[in-house]
């Protein structure tokens, strides 16, 4: 199965900048996660409308936390965290919605699976500037999570084009990248490089 490339917004870029970048990179990514913690529901909705008008398919947009915004904008789904509504609660209310769940342990991954999540995001795998004071969980822990759940596992945290293959060797279904793409000198070149690494893996493991 083709490995996935999820791009997650950093919350540090203007709407105009983000829309311009997303317009150019969306053909190379599986999903764009709109993760804008400081924006109101109205602001997130406005950003998504801008992305849609710029040609980013709704089927490639996931909204972080805000189930209401995901529902009202007609995007692919929602990414839920520990502070969000429970996966099972959202699943009961919106059985058709695609739901990702952010987890940090095997037990959380198993809980997400039992609650009805469609995929999980696990990290952070390597050292990353966004989690300076937290120890990375590493590839061994990622391997354990992959082995202990049947859900697709998307790895996040400090993933570069150089370490993509080591991450995917664990059996992870894909990777998630924030600043490595969106804050690169050339986001388009960066997303192509990540995509290329995933495609090389896919080609060698058909």
Task: Enumerate the domain spans of the chain.
Answer: 4-200
Q: How far apart are CA 179 and CA 87, in angstroms?
A: 27
Q: Which token pair is 196?
A: 């290329």
Q: What pLDDT, in 10s, does the model give residues 130-179? A: 666 678 899 999 999 999 999 999 999 999 999 999 999 999 999 999 99
Q: Give the mean model confidence (pLDDT) for residues 52-63.
A: 98
Phi, psi of 84 (to 5 degrees): -85, 180
Q: What pLDDT, in 10s, does the model give residues 107-135? A: 999 999 999 999 999 999 998 766 666 78
pLDDT at res. 130 = 66
Cα dihedral 177/178/184/188 (nearest 10): 60
Q: Which token pair is 187?
A: 């986001």
Q: How far apart are CA 116 and CA 86, in angstroms?
A: 10
Q: Which residues are annotated as a binding site?
A: 64-65, 102, 128-131, 158
State the pTM of this model: 0.96
Q: How far apart are CA 180 and CA 193, in angstroms?
A: 11
Q: How far apart are CA 91 and CA 157, in angstroms?
A: 27
The dotted CATH code for 4-200 is 3.20.20.70
- Please say if 46 is a catalytic residue: no
3-state secondary structure of 157: coil
Q: Of these residues, 6, 26, 33, 124, which one is catalytic?
A: 124
pLDDT at res. 192 = 97
Rounded to 5 degrees, what angle do the CA atoms 37, 38, 39 make?
Answer: 95
Q: Which residues are annotated as a binding site for Mg(2+)?
A: 65
CA atoms within 13 A on the CB side of 138: 3
Residue with tokens 């540090």: 12
3-state secondary structure of 136: coil
Cis check for the bond before 155: say yes or no (omega within 30 of 0): no
pLDDT at res. 197 = 94
Residue 204 has pLDDT above 80, yes or no: no
Query: Contact, 78 vs 70, CB < 8 A?
Result: yes
Q: Which token pair is 106?
A: 């095997």
The Cβ of residue 27 has, within 10 Å, a number of other Cβ atoms equal to 14
For β-strands 4-8 and 174-177, DSSP reports them as parallel
């Amino acid at each position: 199965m083709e490995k996935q490339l999820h791009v997650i917004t950093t919350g540090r870029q203007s709407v105009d900048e983000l829309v311009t970048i997303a317009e150019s990179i969306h053909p190379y990514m599986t999903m764009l996660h709109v993760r804008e913690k400081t924006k109101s529901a109205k602001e997130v909705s406005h950003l998504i409308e801008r992305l849609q008008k710029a040609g980013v398919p709704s089927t490639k947009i996931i909204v972080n936390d805000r189930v209401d915004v995901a529902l009202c904008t007609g995007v692919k789904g929602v990414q839920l965290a520990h502070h969000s509504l429970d996966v099972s609660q959202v699943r009961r209310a919106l059985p058709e919605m695609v739901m990702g769940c952010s987890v940090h342990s095997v037990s959380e991954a198993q809980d997400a699976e039992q609650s009805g999540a469609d995929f999980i995001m696990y990290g952070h795998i390597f050292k990353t500037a966004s989690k300076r004071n937290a120890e990375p969980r590493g590839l061994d822990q990622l391997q354990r999570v992959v082995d202990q759940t049947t859900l697709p596992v998307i790895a996040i945290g400090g993933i570069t084009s150089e370490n993509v293959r080591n991450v995917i060797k664990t059996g992870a279904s894909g990777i998630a990248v924030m600043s490595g793409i969106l804050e690169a000198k050339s986001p388009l070149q960066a997303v192509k490089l990540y995509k290329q690494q995933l495609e090389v893996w896919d080609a060698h493991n058909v």
